[in-house]
Structure 1
Amino acid sequence: MPASSTPARQRPAGRRRDANPAVSRGARSDAQRRDAWSRRLPLLPALVFTVIATQIPFLITIWYSLRSWNLLNPASDVFVGLSNYAAIFTDSTFRQVALNSVLYTLGCVVAAMVLGTLFALLLDRTFRGQGIVRTLLITPFLIMPVASATLWGVSMFNPTFGLVNWVLGLVGIEPLDWTSSYPVLSILIALVWQWTPFMMLLILAGLQSQPKDVLEAAQMDGASRLQTFLHITLPHLRRYLELSVLLGAIYVVNTFDQIYLMTAGGPGTSSANLPYYIYQRAFLGFDIGQAAAMGVVVVVATIVIANFALRLIFKGFMSTEQN
């Protein structure tokens, strides 16, 4: 009997041991949550500051966009609902400057990406004076936009003593007033000059992260440089090209300095983009309501396009990791 009763006494202890893992898992989950909050807590002040600095002004802008308020007439501050949004979408000037914004963004990003790729391929090899050449190619990106716009508007495109007209005069071409005759092209050239080094740095990082053994294997298999670039290097650079296009588009769409200093949006509004037109309506036309509505539209459109582009980039990263 004592021998047979021993297992019976041990069964409750076994049941208590079966319940212990659940308790330990709960304790571990509580410890993990406390650990997660201990890591997040130092970031809360930065999060609060970001919300205050970005979201509160945006909410105030939305409030202004729902009102008809002209600074020259304080009595005009009345609630009009969505009338400002309806007015800007029927405004032909708004459509023109929106098209200019798209032209500036696409033209600058595509041209800067092509030139940046060429310069990155040049720097991805060892040659004498490589450090000096790299520094000179990066320099335009380090110049302030105001200084860059002044340089191109005064020193390069000036119709009387500009360097571009002096070079064209050497081959017998008459001098041109570039910023008046070709305002959009003049601004595009200045933007491409400034943003090409940014694209070059991103693509150069992608080239230097490429495994060298893969290139050597392609060379041993008899692939030409063009075939190696098209079938090996270019697919490897896809994520870097997508990231450079996304970041470049976000920055270029907010261009203001070059337009303000080189053409002042002229002649008329032929070279203005959305940020400059918003500035004109707010600080020259004193129409706060419509300017705020335009700002809200630009921000929402930028967020939608950026989210779509980010999803494509993340899908590219996920597919690469799975492969």
Structure 2
Amino acid sequence: MTAATSVSPASEGPRTAPIRSKRDTVSRAEGWRRRGPLLPALIFMLVVTQVPFVFTLYYSTQSWNLVRPGSREFAGLSNYVEVFRDSQFWTVTLNTVLLIVGTVIISVLLGLAFALLLDRKFLGRGVVRTLLITPFLVTPVASALLWKTSLLSPTNGLVNWALGPLGIHVDWLSEFPLASVIAELVWQWTPFMMLLILAGLQSMPRDIAEAARVDGATSVRLFREITLPHLRRFIELGSVLGAIYLVNTFDAVYMMTSGGPGVASSNLPYYIYQRAFLGFDIGQAAAMGVVTVVGTIAVSTVAIRLIFKSFSAGQEAA
């Protein structure tokens, strides 16, 4: 028995090796079978996103102005130096930050209020929900044109008509251009925040809130101690997603104010457009685009990691 037991491992060794190799081959084949259909999508994404970015990096090292044919030459990092020396670039960057932060904060607050309203049962809740979602379904160009011509027009705008009895008549797009663009974006993005927060409200366990009410907790304390901590991850996620999309805002600025007066309402995408297609300076426009992309990636990466940590902490606590 002892000899048999001592020989059996040696005799099983050559047998297990082919079995393991066969299993590895099967697992690799299974992995390719599952991931194979995703390969065309990955290639398409790389071609659509990374190839243009590589060309943008190349153009950012060129001194190339379309007004001067034959002036194209290698400029190294001089375009980036000129970008950081441009005072208007920093003004437009500040406008972009104000545009994003203002829109996200107001949209989250309004979305939270509407989500709390729709979380209650009342007559006509479905109709109200549909009406509140509608602005998010309107195309951005049509939304900007609607606000410019029908709401904020100094001659026949509905806002001035409503404020007329108070003696208020304002040319909103000229006197408050950035605030006007923010108002239009808030109108457009509030439904998105509302739907995200409403999903968080409906996923909250009801028994905890009922137990707190039995213990005598007021509605304000219930919201502060239970509802708001539960909604924190959803609010953070909505804020990050909204900020990432708002960085690319172009149509609202172009349709409503054209970045004016001066650069008072310009953001980075519109300023890059002006430099490329109105100033014909391809090199500096490409350098601005690279700086914008790198800054956006850095900020969004940090924010997404913080959100993932928050979600992980919430799951561990649960």
TM-score (norm 1): 0.94
Aligned twin of 2:178: 184
Shift of 1:94: 0.3
RMSD over aligned Cα, in angstroms?
Answer: 1.5
Shift of 1:11: 3.5
Work out the CA distance in 2 between the residues paired with 1:263 and 1:14: 81
Query: Which of 114, 119, 125 pairs up with 1:124?
Result: 119
Aligned twin of 2:301: 307
Aligned twin of 2:87: 92
Equivalences for 1:176-255 in 2 at 5 Å?
176-255=170-249
Equivalences for 1:142-161 in 2 at 5 Å?
142-161=137-156
Aligned twin of 1:265: 259
Work out the CA distance in 1 between the residues paired with 2:179 and 2:55: 36
Aligned twin of 2:310: 316
Distance 1:23 1:317, change over 3 A: farther
Which structure has the greater CA radius of gyration?
Answer: 1
Shift of 1:32: 2.2
* Identity rate, percent: 58
What is the letter of the counterpart of residue 82 of structure 1? L
User: What SS is found at the alignment partner of 1:70?
Assistant: coil
Aligned twin of 2:76: 81
Work out the CA distance in 2 between the residues paired with 1:101 and 1:89: 16
Distance 1:15 1:183, change over 3 A: same
Shift of 1:134: 0.3
Distance 1:36 1:179, change over 3 A: same
Distance 1:14 1:97, change over 3 A: closer
Listed one character per residue, the Cα deviations across residues 254-310 of structure 1 (whole Å, up to 9, x for unaligned) are: 111111111111111111010000000000000000000001111111111111111
Shift of 1:24: 4.3
Work out the CA distance in 2 between the residues paired with 1:67 and 1:21: 61
Equivalences for 1:45-124 in 2 at 5 Å?
45-124=40-119
Work out the CA distance in 2 between the residues paired with 1:60 and 1:299: 14
Shift of 1:246: 0.6
Work out the CA distance in 1 between the residues paired with 2:37 and 2:158: 54
What is the letter of the counterpart of residue 234 of structure 1? L
Unmatched 5+ stretches in structure 1: 1-5
What is the letter of the counterpart of residue 197 of structure 1? P
User: What SS is found at the alignment partner of 1:75?
Assistant: coil
Work out the CA distance in 2 between the residues paired with 1:85 and 1:219: 60
Query: Which of 108, 128, 133 pairs up with 1:133?
Result: 128
